A and B are shown apart, each in its own frame.
Chain A
Amino acid sequence: MKDDEILKRLNEVFCDVMDDEGIVLSHSTNASDIEEWDSLNQIKIILACEKAFGVRLNARDINLLENVGAMIDHLQPLLTSKS
């Protein structure tokens, strides 16, 4: 899956979890850019990502995911090994 495609689907996940259609993500977006991106929503985003991409993430890795770019980088190899 291409980075752009992952970004697009991540964007959908964020809009869904935050209940806000106006969110536009870029690689550098982090928690301080989106008001609602708190630690609780972080958990929800992770769980929703797992559903959306059909992958399983572990707790250690999740703590390292500081911005959207890091999430894409983390998801990319998991999705490649799947296909």
Chain B
Amino acid sequence: MKENRQKTLELALTDPFLVSQDTHSLQKLAKIFSKTKLSPEMRIKDTRVALCGGFMTKFLVEILPLFFLQRGITPTFYESEYGSFQQDIINKESELSRFDPELAIFFPTHRDLRFPPPTDASNSIVENCLDREVDFWISLLKNLDAPTVLFTFDPPPTRRLGEADGLKPGGFLNYIRSVNTRLACDAPGHIKLIDTEQLCASVGETLWHDQRLYHMAKQPMSMDALPVIANSIAASASAILGKARKVLVLDLDNTLWGGTIGDDGLDGITLGPETSDGESFLAFQEYLKSLSERGIVLTVCSKNSEEIALQPFREHGAMVLQETDFPVFIANYTDKATNIREIAKTLNVGLDSVVFADDSPVECALVRKQLPEVWVVELSGDPSEFTRRLDHFIPFPVASLTKEDFARSASYQSLNAVHSELQETTDIGSFLRDLKPIAILEHVRDDTVERMSQLIAKTNQYKLNPSTFSTSELRKRSSDVLAFRLKDRLQDYGIVSVIVTEPDYDSNALILKNWVMSCRVFSRRLEFLIRDEIAETAAKKGLSILRLEYQQSGRNDLIGDLLPVLGFSESKMPNWFEADTISPKILPPHFIALEEAPS
């Protein structure tokens, strides 16, 4: 009995469709969870999360842990009391301050708006209200130091100007929308917004509001809306904390087109506007293309010969996706679990970054069983439902889109090219030299700071310890932050490594609070150039020791193994490593020229 319940919970937590369960089932799962001791392998990323809501949030908090666990985060919650979430944030002595959240969820409702204009207000009065309103919320939010998920204001259940409420200056819905748009523009970089109106629309407005529940228990949204809300919170949290999935592995036959290319041939497969199914597959491909354009890495894993699998990409006129949209393209007869492992390895990502989509229940079952970390989406049946089935549980949340996100897909592409060339070139030195790499020392600036903060949060493998830095913190520390952009004759990789330092003059040491490097540039020897730059920074400050804290996460062995090579050895304090500022002489040559960006 007890084992059964445990099993049910574990199954639910590896199921990407958790959000589709009804609230009652989720409450029961939450009960099981509250009585369960988490096994160490389930405690992946412990995080203190504060929920500051303008309503009674207890039912939300009840099911929220499930959605965090499902995305690899083990949360400890603090919940603002009903009616005191604003004071909680302003008061520096509050329990919230003592709790010191690593992530805050700020969820006001339209009832909390301060300056809604009267219905007969003129445009200029409305503008004035808007200014004061947005000022108020932005300055309130500035009291939160932690990365914050902000719910925009929800649409009201009643419309005081009737069906024109969203259109006229004095309409309340119109006001709410304007406030939300302004917040989206003006919110500081550490705040990620959730579009509440879109969320409400996806549930359906009449199903979203529950006036009775509001009057009884001060929860204005229905119980049925809670899973969608919880899922959106966990999705945003995972993006902020660097736990978001970023790789989609796709089958080909009956997934990207109808039919089997090997049997039906180029003319026989269903794809294109001639048939409704053909249109559906086109629409699905367009959706996938948009994922790729915002930095999600598309890959193929198909049971075919490569030549046959590539035929539609090369010869079918209706294909939206191109061969070049797939940094890794595997078509062979090896089992898919093995292939997916290979894909993850090639891209230098963990299996918990991968979503797998296939029409075959057999393949899906196999991958589910062999690779439980991978999210499996079975795309069987009507292809017009594929996009919704994949998209509605938010498999690939957006943190905040930076220019680098848009470039990442392209850069994985050439990483793969680098890998395949490497296999052919025997002399790695001449290969690297031939790329004519340049490292550019970047400063903390408005257009770089967000990427830096994100890189620290998102990196898993080349990372000393779990510490993260908000954009405001990086600004504060700007003179002690080293960041590097890497370019070569093929492309600009963007900012790929960040080191946050802190001088400790008492012990004559430069402390590396954290050092991260993007997996896109592994094997480029950039770390050796950076080792020299760190040493020089220390020397300039008159410090002669480098010190850092390395915490094993199960995924960052890469940097752990590298530390001795870089001259670091463990000190008397466990996990703390020290090195001389003088670099070890045996470092391999990196061939990278150094430039400095204008400050």
Contact = CB atoms under 8 A, between A and B. Distances in A.
B213 A43 contact: yes
A62 interface: yes
Given A40-B59, A47-B223, A59 B215 contact: yes
Contact of A59 (B24, B58, B216): B216
B28 A19 contact: yes
Contact of A43 (B24, B28, B31, B216): B216
Contacts of B58: 40
Interface string B12-36: 0000000000001001100110000
A61 to B, nearest CB: 11
A62 B213 CA distance: 11
Contacts of B59: 40, 43
Contacts of B212: 58-59
Nearest to A43: B217
A48 interface: yes
B481 to A, nearest CB: 46
Interface string A27-56: 000000000000110011001100100000
Given A40-B59, A47-B223, A62 B31 contact: no
A19 B31 contact: yes
Nearest to A38: B58
A40 B59 CA distance: 8
A47, A48, A63 — which one has the most chain B CB atoms within 10 A of its CB?
A: A47
Interface of A is mostly: helix
Nearest to B56: A40
Nearest to B59: A40
Nearest to A63: B216
Contacts of A62: 216
Nearest to B222: A47
B77 to A, nearest CB: 15
A39 B82 CA distance: 14
A44 B28 CA distance: 12
Contacts of A48: 24
Contacts of A58: 212
B192 to A, nearest CB: 29
Nearest to A47: B223
Interface string A42-83: 011001100100000011001100000000000000000000
Interface residues of A, number: 13
A58 B215 CA distance: 11
Interface in B493-507: none
Interface in A1-26: 16, 19
A16, A19, A39 — which one has the most chain B CB atoms within 10 A of its CB?
A: A19
Contacts of A59: 212, 215-216
Contacts of B31: 19
Interface in B536-565: none
Nearest to B217: A43
Nearest to B5: A19
A19 B32 CA distance: 9
Interface string B23-62: 0100110011000000000000000000000000011000
Contacts of B24: 48, 51
B222 to A, nearest CB: 10
Contacts of B32: 19
A59 B223 CA distance: 16
A54 to B, nearest CB: 15
Contacts of A16: 28
A10 to B, nearest CB: 16
A51 B27 CA distance: 15
B27 A44 contact: yes
Nearest to B216: A59
Contacts of A39: 217
A81 B439 CA distance: 80
B5 to A, nearest CB: 10
Nearest to A44: B27
A36 to B, nearest CB: 10
B63 to A, nearest CB: 12
Nearest to B1: A21
A40 B304 CA distance: 56
Contacts of B28: 16, 19
A39, A59, A62 — which one has the most chain B CB atoms within 10 A of its CB?
A: A59
A42 B217 CA distance: 10
B34 to A, nearest CB: 9
A47 B216 CA distance: 12
Contacts of B217: 39-40, 43
A58 B213 CA distance: 10
A51 B32 CA distance: 22
Interface string B221-233: 0010000000000
B350 to A, nearest CB: 34
A48 B217 CA distance: 16
Nearest to B211: A59
22 contacts: A16-B28, A19-B28, A19-B31, A19-B32, A39-B217, A40-B58, A40-B59, A40-B217, A43-B59, A43-B213, A43-B216, A43-B217, A44-B27, A47-B223, A48-B24, A51-B24, A58-B212, A59-B212, A59-B215, A59-B216, A62-B216, A63-B216
Sorted from nearest, which 10 A-B pairs have the closest CB atoms? A19-B31, A59-B216, A43-B217, A59-B215, A59-B212, A40-B58, A43-B216, A47-B223, A62-B216, A19-B28
Given A43-B216, A43-B217, 13 more contacts: A19-B28, A19-B31, A19-B32, A39-B217, A40-B58, A40-B59, A43-B59, A43-B213, A47-B223, A48-B24, A51-B24, A59-B215, A63-B216
Interface of B: 24, 27-28, 31-32, 58-59, 212-213, 215-217, 223
Interface of A: 16, 19, 39-40, 43-44, 47-48, 51, 58-59, 62-63
